[in-house]
Amino acid sequence: MRKTSIAIIVLATLLTSGFLVSAHIFRLHIDKTWYQPGEEIIIILEIKNTLNVEKEMDIKVTLVEENNKYPPSVWQYLLILQPGETRNIIIYEETVTEFMVNGEYTLTAQLLEERFVLYEDEVRFSITGLPETMDIDILLSDDPGFSVLKDVFLLNQRIYLSYNSSVENIDVNCKIIYPDNTSKNVTLPYSLVVDQIGLYSLNIDAYKEGYRDIYKSLQFAVIKETPFQSKESVEIGGETWLYLAVCVIILVAASVAVVLKKMRT
């Protein structure tokens, strides 16, 4: 009997202090679960303070796309509700535009009390009809097999331009801007002999129906000759190697002489 009385007192204390129950109603409402470009997504949170005292409501909201194709978002609300007050608040309102991506989304709302989750609700919705994303990497090399990628080439050398993409059969246009500011529009893959010294610019435009266009810019340089490989440097290098060889022969001969002298003694 004594234990039962103690349990009742503890339970009553918790209830009156507001630790066990802060809101009897905490739920999300969404009008549909499938959206297309131009449609508006509105998610409403219905919340009620069932206590007999004014209550501060700390609400945390998160939005994630299940395949991580869209950056997750987190935001919070701080509400003060009077005893028995019910409030409907719009916690998410967004029009589907090209800045979003197709995918499966989950929005979660949590009611926090001293960092503990007292109530939680979630809604799921899908977005379709937007252009898909694609990736593309531009390749430059003096090797048609692109075994080694480069961004510095020699004058009058043939270079090759191509690409790797996550999507097949895309159109890749490239505007080549030469060091003298003349330009040429080509379609990748492409090859050319670089006949001007200086900096070349490439403006890339990749597109395919049903996908987002990609724009990229990059540069490569053309020099007259490889550093330290001029005729003069090669001749100097030959003389240096001859000098080093003579020095090595002298050192070896001296070492042999010392060894023979020790053996005789």
pLDDT category at 225 given cuts 50, 70, 90 is confident
Indicate the range of 34-38, 50-54, 222-226 predicted with least confidence.
222-226
Dump pLDDT digits (tens) for 131-173: 998 999 999 999 999 999 999 999 999 999 999 998 999 999 9
Q: Which of 31, 57, 34, 35 is closest to 43 using CA atoms?
A: 31
The residue ranges of every structural domain in the chain are 20-127, 136-223
* pTM, 2 dp: 0.61
What whole-number distance in Å separates Cα of residue 120 and Cα of residue 59? 10
Point out which residues pair with 187 in neighbouring strands: 173
User: What local confidence, expressed as pLDDT, does residue 233 receive?
Assistant: 42
pLDDT category at 115 given cuts 50, 70, 90 is confident
H helices within the chain, ranges in order? 2-17, 231-264
Is 136-223 in the same CATH topology as 20-127? yes
Residue 235 reports pLDDT greater than 80: no
Dump pLDDT digits (tens) for 167-196: 999 999 999 999 999 999 999 999 999 999
Point out which residues pair with 206 in neighbouring strands: 172, 214
Superfamily of domain 136-223: Immunoglobulins (2.60.40.10)
User: What local confidence, expressed as pLDDT, does residue 71 receive?
Assistant: 94
Token pair for residue 188?
């990748």
Q: Which of 225, 222, 231, 230 is closest to 158 using CA atoms?
A: 222
Q: What are phi and psi of 253, to 5 degrees?
A: -60, -40
What whole-number distance in Å separates Cα of residue 186 and Cα of residue 174? 5
Q: What are phi and psi of 199, to 5 degrees?
A: -100, 130
Token pair for residue 20?
């066990």
- Domain 20-127 - what CATH class? mainly beta
Residue 22 reports pLDDT greater than 70: no
264 vs 133, residue with greater confidence: 133
Residue 15 reports pLDDT greater than 50: no
Q: Which of 205, 6, 24, 204 is closest to 111 using CA atoms?
A: 24
Residue 215: its H or E element = strand 214-223
Cα–Cα distance list, 165 to 38, 39, 170, 172 (Å): 29, 31, 8, 10
Q: Is the CB of residue 89 less than 8 Å from the CB of residue 80?
A: no
